[in-house]
Amino acid sequence: MKNLYTTILILLVSFSFAQQKPATAGPTSFILLGGTAHVGNGEVIENSLIQVENGIITKITSANEEQETSTSGQVYDIRGQHVYPGIIAPNSTLGLVEVDAVRATDDVNEIGSFLPHIRSIIAYDAESRIVESMRPSGVLMAQITPRGGRITGTSSVVQLDAWNWEDALVKEDDAIHINWPDRFVKKGAWYDPKVGYKQNEKYKEQVQELEEFFAQAKAYQQADEPKLNLAYQAMGEVFTGDKAVFVSADSPKDILDALEFKRRFNLSNFVIVGGRYAHQVTKELKAANVAVLANRVHSTPEADDDDYDLSYKLPKLLHEAGVLVALENSGQMERMNSRNFPFYAGQVVAEGLSKEEALQLITLNPAKILGIDHQYGSLEEGKLATLFVSAGDALDMQGNRLSLAFIDGRKISLESHHTQLYKKYKEKYEEESEE
């Protein structure tokens, strides 16, 4: 009975602040005129003209050079504003949990250790109010990733304005995700002032279990008439490179072991996630052609002898070493903090990267890592018009004020329960001030 009351309460709260209706489906055409276009590949076009036909960018140039256009769609005068590619949130659990304290709304993990056949997209809630609250910051796409177990499951890439998961899909079943065993594990509770690390005595055993699973899965693919095994079956595209392998690992030795694992099983599509100390093995990462999703920029040092700003500058160190790097946001309160992606990039600017280089960390680079850069990640001709217009610098909290946003050329709503509450209480205090 208690669970029934909890469910009813959630429904009432959900209906009181219902999600905005997704943008109308179908091809759209329009022009963005006069804004500063941050292309996403390092290029900036002042006083730009961006022409979109049937949801695809057909022209991007300087308005001074070419004024003639062929579209009959609406012209948006955005002089004095800035245009950016839609921000992409990789390795995200958006839409998998709505209320942490209500188990029925938590689909972030499943029971078991080796779960490549568990598909997160089936559980993705396109109407999540948390998902909706990402769009006003410019976060328009995400890689929906399960958690838990050694192989946590298979992720998919979605756009964040849809009626259901089928409509949201951009790239289905793009990667499996592995939690690499830790050589050292924490001892003691987090609140213990003497908390430290101890060697993981089962490290070799855990790595061997992972290797055995991959070996058996590879043999399954080569068998003539294998007995159906869903976990092994889901691994087929991993060995062909059509499905990526994302490995969460932080220490240099763990990363090197993961790279040896990549070599042993000839895994061509391989990404390190987190990589807190990946800057210590950049030569090996570059030689193996492995990208890194750097851990949350706004995080504290892990070890006593870490630089206080290691998390801030890690993306810069990797970028300067020639490693393809993007930002990710896993960890405590990761879903609601996903709206801070543009400000994570802004933090990296403070560490020495240019604004356009930092922008790539949340647009073009994650698009490359996710294998969707032929359609997304930058404002280039032939790509889908997934972009937004901001009154100021989108990487700065004061400048990130969106006036327009489009996904696949569809103009989307920038309203959310946050903006509704803002307007509600703004009116309240305006009325009080008039009394």
The pairing of strands 196-199 and 184-187 is antiparallel
364 pLDDT above the threshold of 50: yes
- Residue partners of 196: CB distance under 8 A and separation at least 6: 186, 187, 188
Please tell me the predicted confidence (pLDDT) of residue 284: 97
Q: Model confidence over 318-349: pLDDT tens digits?
A: 999 999 999 999 988 889 899 999 999 999 99
Lowest mean pLDDT among 6-20, 74-88, 177-191: 6-20
- Edge-to-edge strands of the sheet including 139-144? 87-92, 139-144, 151-159, 169-179, 244-249, 270-274, 291-294, 325-327
Distance, in Å, from the CA atom of 60 to the CA atom of 71, rounded to the nearest integer, reads 13
Structure tokens at 358: 């930092």
CB 389 within 8 A of CB 82: yes
Tracing tokens 């070419």 back to the chain, one arrives at: 66
Rounded to an integer, the average pLDDT of 364-379 is 97
Please tell me the predicted confidence (pLDDT) of residue 424: 86
Rounded to an integer, the average pLDDT of 137-162 is 96
Name the residue with higher pLDDT: 48 or 301. 48
> Would you list the DSSP string of 216-239?
HHHHHHH-SSPPP-HHHHTTHHHH
Residue 16 — pLDDT band, cuts 50, 70, 90? very low
Return the sign of the alpha-carbon dihedral for residues 62, 66, 68, 69: negative
68 pLDDT above the threshold of 60: no
Residue 3 — pLDDT band, cuts 50, 70, 90? low
The pLDDT mean for the chain works out to 90
CB 214 within 8 A of CB 265: yes
What domains does the chain contain, in order, with CATH numbers? Answer: 20-86+377-435 (2.30.40.10), 88-374 (3.20.20.140)
Name the residue with higher pLDDT: 433 or 379. 379
26 pLDDT above the threshold of 80: no
C-alpha distances (whole Å) from 290 to each of 63, 164, 275, 300, 368 are 39, 33, 12, 25, 12
Please tell me the predicted confidence (pLDDT) of residue 217: 96
Structure tokens at 180: 């690499």
Q: Model confidence over 202-235: pLDDT tens digits?
A: 999 999 999 999 999 999 999 988 899 999 999 9
Residue 379 — pLDDT band, cuts 50, 70, 90? very high
DSSP alpha helices (H): ranges in 137-222?
A: 165-168, 203-222
Tracing tokens 């958690």 back to the chain, one arrives at: 147
The size of the chain, in residues, is 435
> Would you list the DSSP string of 37-85?
EE-SSS-EESSEEEEEETTEEEEEEETTT-------SEEEE-TT-EEEE
Residue 250 — pLDDT band, cuts 50, 70, 90? very high
Distance, in Å, from the CA atom of 120 to the CA atom of 112, rounded to the nearest integer, reads 15
69 pLDDT above the threshold of 80: no
The partner residues of 199 in beta bridges, in order of sequence, read 184
Tell me the Ramachandran region of residue 328: left when phi exceeds 0, alpha when psi lies from -120 to 50, beta otherwise: beta
Distance, in Å, from the CA atom of 289 to the CA atom of 267, rounded to the nearest integer, reads 11
CB 171 within 8 A of CB 372: yes
For the chain, state the CA radius of gyration.
23
11 pLDDT above the threshold of 60: no
Distance, in Å, from the CA atom of 284 to the CA atom of 272, rounded to the nearest integer, reads 12
Furthest-apart CA atoms within the chain: distance in Å? 82
Amino acid at 65: E
Tracing tokens 């942490």 back to the chain, one arrives at: 100
> Would you list the DSSP string of 327-380?
E---STTHHHHGGGHHHHHHHHHHTT--HHHHHHTTTHHHHHHHT-TTTSSS--
Q: Model confidence over 256-295: pLDDT tens digits?
A: 999 999 999 999 999 999 999 999 999 999 999 999 999 9
Among 55-64, 105-114, 283-292, the range with the most confident prediction by mean pLDDT is 283-292
